[in-house]
Structure 1
Amino acid sequence: MSHVRSASAAADAASDWQKVRAEWFARFKEEYERKVAEHPDVDWSDELAVDARHYRESWERIYARAYGPFDKSTSIPPMRYTAEPVPFDASEQYTLQIFCVKIKELRRGLQWPIHVFGLIAARDTIDHNRNMVFDRTRDDCQTLTQEDPYLLLTGPTRAVVVCDPVYLEAVLRVKGSTESEDEDLSFFTVPLTDVNRPRETCLITREYTSKLSTLELTFGYVVRSVEATIKARIVDGSWPEEDGSSARFTACTSSLKHNGVLLLDSGDKRRKMRVDADGVVGLSRRVVSVEFEGELEVSVVTFDGSNICSKMEAEIRFVPEEVGESCVELDVGFCKMEITVAWSCLSLSCR
């Protein structure tokens, strides 16, 4: 008799589960059909794009009141604690260093070259706002080719601090003949970190496949680090006017020595060497994260287009500090440059 009761109870439980499952599926289908009707322009087969829209809805519900609109950029500057006194809650922190972003593959018949605009930004929990890494308008597209598919990065504007998950947001579009013909190249918001953080500095490469492309991101996880803001200034001589004169500035840390952050490459025709009235060189990127117990290496290579033998190379190593500035002068032949690094501890507070 007990066996009969057990079988009957199991059958009732299975029936109840089927009812719950059917009700859940019906609600899911109703919600899905409602969203499709409300957003006919959305490709619901692109899971990353759908998740990005859900992320925005959640962000606006949770953070908008405290941190402003979703498209706001971070108002926290670099060199936040370069000058003393430093608050008690500022110290070395775990950070992310974004090295490069590459459009690895095109899909659905899209052909090279492509003209790309839009943004890539990191969001940490200091203020939850966009920390821009790439930012171009439709009128200032970057042309990518199969031979050179890398985006010209200009950020982050301050160090990306890891506390709770850091998110990467990509809103990249391909320019068409008219605005109505523009298409989403990469549209996603994904977490770069979780509770299982690496215990040592390491390099990480990830791929994200959207409707029209696969984007490859290379970034570093940097333990117990400080923020270094780099400035280059010509202090003696001048930058040569001849065509072909160029400079390449890179920065790397001792723990990720073979992966440098490209600060400027004026030999690339897409980047121009800008020097202001005070001799300050307009670097494309200038903020890097450095392990406090490591080293920062800044490399400068210059080439004077008027002289085939005028290539000059120099490397400078800096020992990280928690506060203040370090300064070294370089002789690159036709001029002397001063490389200054402003050091800053990092805080998890936005105030």
Structure 2
Amino acid sequence: NLRLEEAVDESGFLEPFFYDEAEVVAEAAAAAERRQREAEEKAAEHARKVDEFRRRKAAHQAVIDRISEYDPKTGEVCYTRFFNRDFSEFDIDEESPLAPMRYTHITPSKYTNSLGRQVYDVSDSVNILSVKIVSSDLGFPLKVYGTVIARDYLDFKCVYLFRRRREDYQLINSEDQSLILTGPTRGLVLLDRIYFEVDLKIKDDQGKKDQELSKGLCVIDGVLMGGEEHGHVGCEDLDSRLSTVEVKFAVVKLSVQAALEIKILKGDFYGEITACTSSIQDRLVLHDSKAGGVIYTTNKRSNENFSKY
């Protein structure tokens, strides 16, 4: 038997139950307000995404509309510039910031080295040999100005091959004469397609409006050429407006980029400097005084760094 003071009153473990209606109503109201706020935030986020989608779609479509034109020569509406990007984010006019000679300290290899360091592989590339107006509805000579742009897999941004203002036109006397190219300023990689955008005009000195000589897009398909074992010379033609433009190129298998420097030790140089490889004999023009001017010597020596790769 336990003494009375040692007895435990089980009712002491029970808390009294009180129903506070006001508190319950307040909690329900707070929960409803929270759900309403979350619904409003979700609706606002959805509206923001819809507005962003519409803005990006409109920005993309504006560029697509700008680069889609009717060509009277072909009778078709076609793209005149590179089109395979989201133009709400991609600037179609931005020049490629990639410089040449970026990996001169790296030895190309096809294998992972024993130290597990990053391996730099070599790939196929393209040398631009010439860009010619092989036919003209207006005949020759022609005072030509405008741009020829290349884009490759590295960033698909503008790499200029030819760029002249109206007052700096080039006189083309025949279909055998190439445009004087001042690019590319780095090697063009043939991993995917290489796109060429041509926008050439004819300067008119008779008081008439300048005419569009050629405007459009042509492509070198690197995927189709990837299976070929040897380098070769090829051409892509653009038949548009008042002419046919031929882009002549050389595919170089497993290439590396070379930079050349020529020093004029005595006298001044006016002429043309070209280069070729043992496998492809077609000449690549490195310097043409008609475009770059005379190389003058100062202090008995002059260096000429070439911007074409």
Normalising by structure 2, what TM-score? Answer: 0.66
- Report how many residues are paired: 234
For 2:182 and 2:276, the matched residues in 1 are separated by 16
Counterpart in 1 of 2:258?
228
Write the deviation string for residues 116-139 of structure 1: whole angstroms up to 9, x where unpaired: 111112111111101111111112
Counterpart in 2 of 1:80?
102
How large is the Cα RMSD of the aligned pairs? 3.1
Matches within 5 A, 1:25-174: 42-47=69-74, 50-53=77-80, 55-56=81-82, 58-59=83-84, 62=86, 65=89, 67=90, 69-83=91-105, 88-107=118-137, 110-146=138-174, 149-174=177-202
In the alignment, structure 1 residue 183 sits paired with structure 2 residue 237: no
Judge conservation of contact 1:117–1:172 (CA < 8 Å) in 2. Answer: yes
Q: Which amino acid aligns with 1:259?
A: D
CA apart distance, 1:154 = 1.0
Structure number with bigger Rg:
2
Q: Which runs of 5+ in 1 are unaligned?
A: 1-37, 288-351
Bigger strand share: 1
Indicate the percent of aligned positions where both proteins have the same amino acid.
28
CA apart distance, 1:187 = 0.7
CA apart distance, 1:200 = 1.4
For 2:167 and 2:185, the matched residues in 1 are separated by 22
Q: Which runs of 5+ in 2 are unaligned?
A: 1-64, 109-116
Higher relative contact order (CA 8 A, sep 6+): 1
Structure 1 residues 89 and 176: CA distance shift in structure 2, 3 A = farther
Write the deviation string for residues 76-120 of structure 1: whole angstroms up to 9, x where unpaired: 00111123598835331110111011111111xx13211111111
CA apart distance, 1:51 = 2.2
Judge conservation of contact 1:102–1:151 (CA < 8 Å) in 2. Answer: yes
Judge conservation of contact 2:123–2:255 (CA < 8 Å) in 1. Answer: yes
Q: Which amino acid aligns with 1:71?
A: D
Structure 1 residues 168 and 286: CA distance shift in structure 2, 3 A = closer
Q: Which amino acid aligns with 1:62?
A: D
